[in-house]
C-alpha cells in the first residue's frame, strides 16, 4: 500500500500561462458532450486572458464535472480543476444559487464536528456518503483494508468544493486537525485532491488503489474484465497512479478505462446542475464511450456512481472492487457479478 501513497505536487501555475495547446480538450468529458471549445479548460483560460468574467463563463464553469482529466495533460502545469473551483466560488458569490441542498450544506459547514476517535497515526478511511449508505459494502471495505472509519469524513467539505460554497476556516481546520498524523484512504477523489494541497506531508491514497492493491481483490481480477478507474482519484495523483495501474494491467491483463494518453475516461461526468438536482439529465454517453468497441465479460468499478452508470447502459455484470474479495455474503448478494 505504501508504494502508491501520494506526496505534495509541484506548485501549480494559473490560467495566464495557458498557451492554447488544447491538450486538455482531448480528455475533457464536458467538451465531449458540448463539442464547443468554450466548454474546455483551455477555452475558459483563453477567455479569462482576454477579459471574460466568471459570470460570462457561467455555463462551462457549471458544466465541468471536476474529473481532473485536464490536470495531468497540461504541459504548463496549470491547476485547471483548481481554476474551476475558484471560478465556482466567484460565481456563487456574484450569482448566489438557492436550493435546499445548498442551504443545508451551509448549515452543516457551520456546525462543530466531533474529532476522530481513532488513535493518532492509525490509518483512516474517509468513506463518503455513497459508501456510508451501503452498510454491507462499507463493512467489506473496512474488513479488506483493516482501517478505522473517520467520524468526520469531510463529506460536507467535498460537497462544498464541488458546489462552490465557501468553507468556513474553522470547519476546515477542525477537519484537517482530525486527520493530522494519520494515513488516509479517501473514497472521494476531489477531496483526495484537495488533501494533497492541504496536508502536503500526509500519506493519502484513493479507495480504488487501496482496494486493488489487496491480494484478495487483485487475484480476482480477470483478463476479461473491464476495470473502471475512478477518474478523480486517479488524476489527483497521476504520476503515481499511471505507474500503479500500468502494473495492475500488466499483472492481470484486464482492460482499463484509459485513453491513449493514459487519462482515465470518467464513467460519470455530472456538472453543477445535476449535482444540485436542477436537471435529471443522465450522462450515459461517457459510460457508452468507455464500452465502445469493447466486449468485456464483466465490469469492475471503484466507485458506486460508476456502477449505477454501467448498469443503466449495458446488461453486463457490474461489480464493485470490494465485492471481489471472495466474501460469501457479497457473492450471495450479487451472484451475477461472479458468474
Partner 1 sequence: MKIPPVEPGTVGPCPVAPDALQGIKRQQTNPARWNGAGWQDFVAALRASGVDLAEGVAACGVYATDAGGTAYGQPHGVVIARSAGQVSLLLKAAQAHRVPVTVRGGGLTTEGESVAFGGVLLDMNGMSRVLKVDAQALTVRTEAGIYWHSLAEELRRENLDYLSAPLNLTSSVGGTLGVGGIDVNSARLGCSADQAISLQVVTPTGEIVECSDDENPELFQRVILGYGQFGIITEATLRVRPYTPLSMHYYYYSSLRTAIEDLQMLDRNDASDYSGILTIMDCAVNLLVAFDSDEREAAFRKNWESRLRGHGEFGFALCMAGHYALRPWKIGEALYLLQRKQAVFPEFRRPEFMREGKMHDRTVVFSRAVWKHWGSRQMVIPDLATSADKFVEAVERGNAICRKYFTHYTLYCVGIKLRPEHKPHYEMSCVPPDAEGWAYGCEFEPMIEGGVYSRDHFQAFKNAIYDIGVDLGASYYRFGGMMKGYIRRIFGDALVDRHLAMKRRADPAMILNRDVIF
Residues engaged in binding partner 1 (CB under 8 A): 14-17, 19-23, 25-26, 35-38, 42-43, 46-54, 56-57, 73, 75-76, 242-243, 246, 259-262, 292-294
- Structural contact between residues 192 and 204, judged by C-beta atoms closer than 8 angstroms: yes
Q: Which is nearer to partner 1, 32 or 140 (CB)?
A: 32
d(CA 76, CA 159): 28
Side-chain-facing half-sphere of 202: CA atoms under 13 Å: 26
SS3 of residue 213 by DSSP = coil
CB of 22 to partner 1, least distance (A): 4
Q: Which is nearer to partner 1, 305 or 313 (CB)?
A: 313
CB of 35 to partner 1, least distance (A): 5
Handedness of CA 10, 90, 202, 205 (dihedral sign): negative
- Structural contact between residues 276 and 103, judged by C-beta atoms closer than 8 angstroms: no
- Structural contact between residues 22 and 13, judged by C-beta atoms closer than 8 angstroms: no
d(CA 45, CA 55): 14
Q: Which residue reads 492493491 in cell numbers? A: 213
Q: Which is nearer to partner 1, 175 or 238 (CB)?
A: 238
CB of 284 to partner 1, least distance (A): 17
Q: Which is nearer to partner 1, 17 or 148 (CB)?
A: 17
What DSSP line would sit under 72-138, residue for residue?
HH-TT-B-HHHHHHHHHHHHHHHS----HHHHHHHHHHHS--PPP-SPTT--EEE-HHHHHT-HHHH
Query: Strands, DSSP E only, in the chain?
Result: 124-126, 148-149, 183-186, 203-206, 225-228, 255-256, 298-301, 318-320
Q: Which is nearer to partner 1, 18 or 150 (CB)?
A: 18
CB of 74 to partner 1, least distance (A): 9
CA angle 23, 186, 203 (to 5 degrees): 85
Q: Which is nearer to partner 1, 147 or 263 (CB)?
A: 263
What are the b/e assignments for 298-326, b being 16+ CB within 10 Å? bbbbbbbebbbbbeebbebbbbbbbbbbe
Q: 334: which 3 cell numbers?
A: 450479487
CB of 318 to partner 1, least distance (A): 20
CB of 161 to partner 1, least distance (A): 21
CB of 313 to partner 1, least distance (A): 16
The helix, strand and coil proportions of the chain, stated in percent and rounded to the nearest 5, come to: 55, 10, 40
Q: Which is nearer to partner 1, 143 or 285 (CB)?
A: 285
Q: Which is nearer to partner 1, 280 or 292 (CB)?
A: 292
Q: Which is nearer to partner 1, 203 or 249 (CB)?
A: 249
Longest dimension (CA), the chain: 60
CB of 291 to partner 1, least distance (A): 10
CB of 220 to partner 1, least distance (A): 24
Amino acid at each position: 500500500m505504501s508504494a502508491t501513497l501520494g506526496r505534495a505536487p509541484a506548485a501549480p501555475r494559473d490560467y495566464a500561462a495557458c498557451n492554447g495547446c488544447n491538450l486538455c480538450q482531448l480528455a475533457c468529458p464536458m467538451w465531449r458532450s458540448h463539442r464547443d471549445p468554450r466548454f474546455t479548460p483551455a477555452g475558459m483560460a483563453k477567455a479569462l486572458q482576454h477579459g471574460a468574467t466568471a459570470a460570462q463563463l457561467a455555463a462551462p464553469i457549471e458544466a465541468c464535472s471536476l474529473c481532473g482529466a485536464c490536470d495531468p495533460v497540461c504541459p504548463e502545469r496549470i491547476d485547471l480543476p483548481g481554476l474551476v473551483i475558484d471560478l465556482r466560488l466567484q460565481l456563487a458569490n456574484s450569482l448566489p444559487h438557492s436550493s435546499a441542498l445548498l442551504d443545508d450544506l451551509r448549515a452543516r459547514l457551520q456546525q462543530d464536528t466531533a474529532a476522530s476517535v481513532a488513535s493518532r497515526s492509525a490509518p483512516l478511511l474517509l468513506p463518503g456518503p455513497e459508501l456510508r449508505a451501503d452498510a454491507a459494502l462499507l463493512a467489506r471495505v473496512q474488513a479488506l483494508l483493516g482501517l478505522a472509519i473517520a467520524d468526520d469524513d469531510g463529506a460536507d467539505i467535498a460537497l462544498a468544493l464541488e458546489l462552490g460554497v465557501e468553507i468556513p476556516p474553522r470547519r476546515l481546520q477542525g477537519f484537517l486537525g482530525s486527520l493530522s498524523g494519520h494515513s488516509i484512504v479517501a473514497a472521494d477523489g476531489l477531496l483526495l485532491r484537495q488533501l494533497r494541497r492541504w496536508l502536503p506531508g500526509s500519506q493519502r491514497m484513493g479507495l480504488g488503489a487501496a482496494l486493488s492493491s489487496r491480494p484478495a481483490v487483485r487475484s480476482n481480477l480477470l483478463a476479461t474484465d473491464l476495470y473502471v478507474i475512478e477518474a478523480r482519484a486517479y488524476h489527483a495523483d497521476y504520476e503515481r497512479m499511471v505507474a500503479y495501474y500500468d502494473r495492475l494491467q500488466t499483472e492481470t491483463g484486464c482492460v482499463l478505462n484509459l485513453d491513449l494518453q493514459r487519462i482515465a475516461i470518467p464513467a460519470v461526468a455530472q456538472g453543477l446542475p445535476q449535482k444540485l438536482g436542477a436537471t435529471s439529465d443522465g450522462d450515459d454517453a461517457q459510460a457508452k464511450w468507455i464500452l465502445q468497441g469493447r466486449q468485456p465479460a464483466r465490469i469492475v468499478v471503484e466507485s458506486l456512481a460508476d456502477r449505477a452508470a454501467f448498469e443503466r447502459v449495458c446488461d453486463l455484470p457490474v461489480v464493485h472492487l470490494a465485492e471481489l474479495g471472495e466474501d460469501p455474503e457479497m457473492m450471495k448478494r450479487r451472484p451475477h457479478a461472479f458468474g
